[in-house]
Amino acid sequence: MTHPEPETTPVLALEEVSKSFGAVRALRGVSLRLYAGEAHALAGENGAGKSTLIKALAGVHRPDAGTVLLDGAPVEFHGPADARDAGVAVIYQEPTLFPDLSVAENIFMGRQPRRSLNRVDHRAVKQAAADLFARLGVDLDPDQPARGLSIADQQLVEIAKALSFDARVLIMDEPTAALTGSEVARLFGVVKTLREQGAAVLFISHRLEEIFALCQRVTTLRDGALIGSEPLEGLTEDDLVRRMVGRDLDELYPKQETEAGEVALQVRRLTREGVFTDVSFEVRRGEIVGLAGLVGAGRSEVARAVFGVDRFDGGEVEVLGTRLKPGAPSVA
């Protein structure tokens, strides 16, 4: 599939990159070009090679073959610090901040402005962090300890840190997997701001609607091979799924006729205070029951309580007629 790309030189690119782990060919001659001011999605099923591609871009893996190009010139990153110094920042799903340091200290770890006698200039550190948050348009307290920050806030601290290194490329490997709906919206606002300031963004998500909401271009991988790289405009979610799996959705999940049998799992008025209230449903043998709701609606919490990982305050769970004790995973 060929599609016109911007005529400018990509900020960061891979040309014909291959990477194997033993017998697994994780990337097979994959090319990808990231442009300033563009958010680029990387799509593909589990194991398609997305994280491997990111690690090749970020200096974590050395490609077996092919080239990484920075501003059109071949580069070799000998580790993540090399990539970072070249302006390539990776934001992971769960950042690893130092819990006992403040937000500002985390951002400027090891390179705080100093005053006479080599003392850290705490005021300057705090001000610099506040300036970064202002550029991102987020409201975070630079003095707050990193301990206790939500994952979403920790990611924003990482993004501020990337900005402090003048990152021109922001790479995000499934950053939204553990975020609530409003946190995703805030992150997308920040990414849009950075993009408008000229950053190139590479974004991985399993949620197609997020790809369409955030990105202008998409590259699809299947089994380590490049399927295509194209603008998202004019594509539908079905088009994208077809590229990812190589088949239509209804072939992928053919409707199966089954007979629902006796009630296997019965959940009655299950309540955990402040988390979920009066949840009742049943699952019969031979049946697949979906538990739907928005991010943050309490689906995982209900499942954890039903399984016995978390306690619940009211209601009951029965498996094949036997009532389970709350808060004890059972072998039923």
Binding site for ligand ATP (CB under 6 A): 21, 24, 26, 44, 46-52
Could you say which of Mg ion, ligand ATP, none residue 44 binds, taking C-beta under 5 to 8 angstroms by partner kind? ligand ATP
Could you say which of ligand ATP, Mg ion, none residue 87 binds, taking C-beta under 5 to 8 angstroms by partner kind? none
277 binds Mg ion (CB under 5 A): no
**CA 142, chain centre distance (Å):** 24
Smallest separation (angstroms) from ligand ATP to the CB of 222: 10
Smallest separation (angstroms) from ligand ATP to the CB of 204: 7
- Decide: residue 227, CB within 10 A, 0-12 exposed, 13-18 middle, 19+ buried: buried
Could you say which of Mg ion, ligand ATP, none residue 48 binds, taking C-beta under 5 to 8 angstroms by partner kind? ligand ATP
Tokens 């194997």: give the residue. Answer: 20
Nearest to 284 by CA among 254, 318, 236, 252: 318
Binding span for Mg ion by CB under 5 A among 48-56, 109-117, 159-167, 213-221 = 48-56
**CA 4, chain centre distance (Å):** 28
- Cα-based distances in Å from 325 to 263, 265, 275, 310, 318: 19, 14, 19, 11, 9
For ligand ATP, give the closer residue by CB, 26 or 152: 26
Smallest separation (angstroms) from ligand ATP to the CB of 178: 14
In the chain, where do the E strands start and end? 12-21, 24-34, 39-43, 65-70, 73-75, 88-91, 169-173, 200-204, 217-222, 225-231, 263-272, 276-284, 314-319, 322-323
Token pair in block for residue 211:
């790809």
Could you say which of ligand ATP, Mg ion, none residue 168 binds, taking C-beta under 5 to 8 angstroms by partner kind? none
CA pair distance 65, 76, nearest whole angstrom: 12
Could you say which of ligand ATP, Mg ion, none residue 145 binds, taking C-beta under 5 to 8 angstroms by partner kind? none
51 binds Mg ion (CB under 5 A): yes
For ligand ATP, give the closer residue by CB, 59 or 87: 59
For ligand ATP, give the closer residue by CB, 64 or 143: 64
Smallest separation (angstroms) from ligand ATP to the CB of 85: 24
93 binds Mg ion (CB under 5 A): no
Point out the residue whose Cβ comes nearest to Mg ion.
51
End-to-end alpha-carbon separation of the chain, Å? Answer: 52
Interaction site with Mg ion (CB under 5 A): 50-51
